[in-house]
Amino acid sequence: MIAIFGESKEGPLHTFIHLRSLPDIVESFGNPTETGLGIHLAIQALLFKSDVLFYRLEEEGFQKDTYELGCHFLEKHPKKEELAAIALPGVGDTLILSFAQKVAAPIGALLLITAKDLYDFTTQR
């Protein structure tokens, strides 16, 4: 299972939704936004037979308090132990990454970021 923090045009904000199939994405979140990668990552994960916990944000990579809240929810989520990875598209901010690391490290989950996010992370230090 992969937890993905991402944006979409529709759906509940700041709540983890368990996605098991491609129709689940359309029913829960509609179409992807022009710039967001979260829905695209969810599609890829589902195509490779991995369930997704999707946390809808207003915008990927910003609003530190929203990511902190999401990570807090994820720490208490009943399926937390099933996580193999946490995907944070658009995030290069060290504080946001540290919120996710606190969830991922104890259960051995990976943090997934893009090459652009890695650049942002390394240049802000």
Q: What is the pLDDT of residue 123?
A: 87
The H helix count followed by the E strand count for the chain is 5, 5
Q: Which of 19, 3, 20 is nearest to 57 (CA)?
A: 3
3-class state of residue 52 by DSSP: strand
User: pLDDT truncated to tens, each residue of the chain (125 aa)?
Assistant: 999 999 999 999 999 999 999 999 999 999 889 999 999 999 999 999 999 999 999 999 889 999 999 999 999 999 999 999 999 999 989 999 999 999 999 999 999 988 988 888 888 86
Q: What confidence score (pLDDT) does residue 85 get?
A: 97
Q: Tell me the C-alpha to C-alpha distance, in Å, between residue 101 and each of 7, 73, 81, 88, 109.
A: 20, 14, 14, 11, 9
pLDDT number for residue 87: 96
pLDDT of residue 125: 67
Token representation of residue 51: 């369930």
Which of these, 96, 71, 88, 95, lies nearest to 4 by C-alpha position? 88
